[in-house]
Amino acid sequence: MKKQTIALLGAALLLVSSAEAQYKVLLPQCCSVPSSVFVLNAETGSLERALAAATSTSFNVFALTAVPLRDGALAVLNDFPGTSSSTGTVSIVNPGTGALLGSVALPGEPLTMALNPKSGVIYARFTLGALYQIEELNPSTLRVIQQFTVTGGSSITVSPDGQRIYIPVFGTGVVVYSTSSLAQIGTVPGPDQVIGLSPDSKTHYAASDALVAPSNSVYFVDTASLEITTIISLGNLGTLGGDSGGPGSGAVSADGTRLYINFGTSILTLDVTTRAKVDVPCPADDQGEQVLAASNGSVYVRVQNGAANLAVVFDPAGARFPRNFPCWGSAGWWPAQAVRSYSC
């Protein structure tokens, strides 16, 4: 069985825009700086500031992921690996002043976190013994609204309309939960990866890699019926999702017209209407790990090149990678999760 574990990889890339539409790249850090989020200029890659995400100064405190909230603050999921507690925290940070506004402890080992774009609540995923749990949190008060158990898997995707949660589980399919009741409402059998959803939340795009039949395929799923309407074979281009398996499988363009699918050594663009496919090889020695489709139309690919981690700008129209910038030596723990883009 494919392992659903936390891998030693580069940190997740997230994008956030200010009121002036100045897009920034958020890079959760570990190892080099204790539990920080670096804010990089999205065009030049230059470091603008570092935000402390925890009160501890230990270099063993890792910022796993950062979620821009609707009020402009950041929610940061921290891990404390190697400690006896095996727990994490959710911290709220003001990205303008760098002030740490508050923090709440999780009862288990943190995995990932997502924002409900409509209600504004956050969902923090963690393991508690053999159980996979989610805490629904109010980020303004850091109060737990409710906690519930879910089927395995380590990533979480919330639909743009805020009504559903999608969790891929190897050997089962994509398990779907209602955000209002937090009850399981169905399963899409077969695919073990989530690419994303259409902007209107009516179509769910899932995928399977070489370990699931039909291999290296994309599934179009009607979200009302949870029925698979289309399966598109992508051929033997590589390992869908890259070496990390499913979590970095791809992203949906901001306008919903294209899918950007990670095959590790190349990025394939799929037109969701015409089904036209264009495969663009990654720069030499680059191994694609995550794809970020930002709300301003920009596309970024986080790659590994030997021991280095780079953020590579992808130009789908020109079928090229015009520039890249280093991820500041970040090579820390990050959870297997779908890459998401945000605008706050």
Q: Compare 7 and 67 and report the one with higher pLDDT.
A: 67
In the chain, % of residues over pLDDT 90 = 34
| Contact assessment for residue 52 and residue 35, using Cβ atoms and an 8 Å cutoff | yes
Between 332 and 270, whose confidence is greater?
A: 270
How many angstroms from the chain centroid is the CA of residue 257?
20
Each residue of 322-341: pLDDT tens digit? Answer: 887 766 444 332 322 223 33
The mean-pLDDT minimum among 25-29, 122-126, 172-176 falls in: 25-29
pTM of structure: 0.84
DSSP 242: G
Tell me the average pLDDT of the chain: 78
Interatomic CA distance for residues 319 and 315, integer angstroms: 6
Give the pLDDT of residue 219: 94
Taking the C-alpha atoms of residue 80 and residue 59, their distance in angstroms, rounded to an integer, is 10
Read off the pLDDT of each residue in 194-211 and give the average, rounded to a whole number: 90
According to CATH, what is the number of the domain 7-334?
Answer: 2.130.10.10
pLDDT of 242 > 80? The answer is no
User: How high is the pLDDT of residue 154?
Assistant: 74
Residue 270: the pLDDT is 95
Category of 71 on φ-ψ map: left (φ > 0), alpha (ψ -120 to 50) or beta = alpha
Please list, in sequence order, all residues whose beta carbon lies within 8 angstroms of the beta carbon of residue 342, skipping any fewer than 6 positions away: 14, 15, 16, 67, 68, 115, 295
Q: Is a pLDDT exceeding 60 seen at residue 246?
A: no
pLDDT band of residue 298 (cuts 50, 70, 90) is confident
Q: In terms of Cα–Cα distance, which of 133, 75, 90 is closest to 108? A: 133
What gap in Å lies between CA 225 and CA 160, rounded to an integer?
17
Task: Report the candidate in 94, 64, 61 with the shortest Cα–Cα distance to residue 76.
Answer: 64
Domain residue extents for the chain: 7-334
pLDDT above 80: residue 85: no
- pLDDT, residue 288, reads 78
| Lowest mean pLDDT across 70-84, 179-193, 210-224 | 70-84
pLDDT for position 321: 87
What tens digit of pLDDT does each residue of 13-68 get?
666 654 444 556 666 655 555 566 767 666 666 677 777 777 665 546 677 778 88
Nearest alpha-carbon partner for 312 in 282, 341, 333, 342: 282
Going by pLDDT thresholds of 50, 70 and 90, the confidence category of residue 216 is: confident
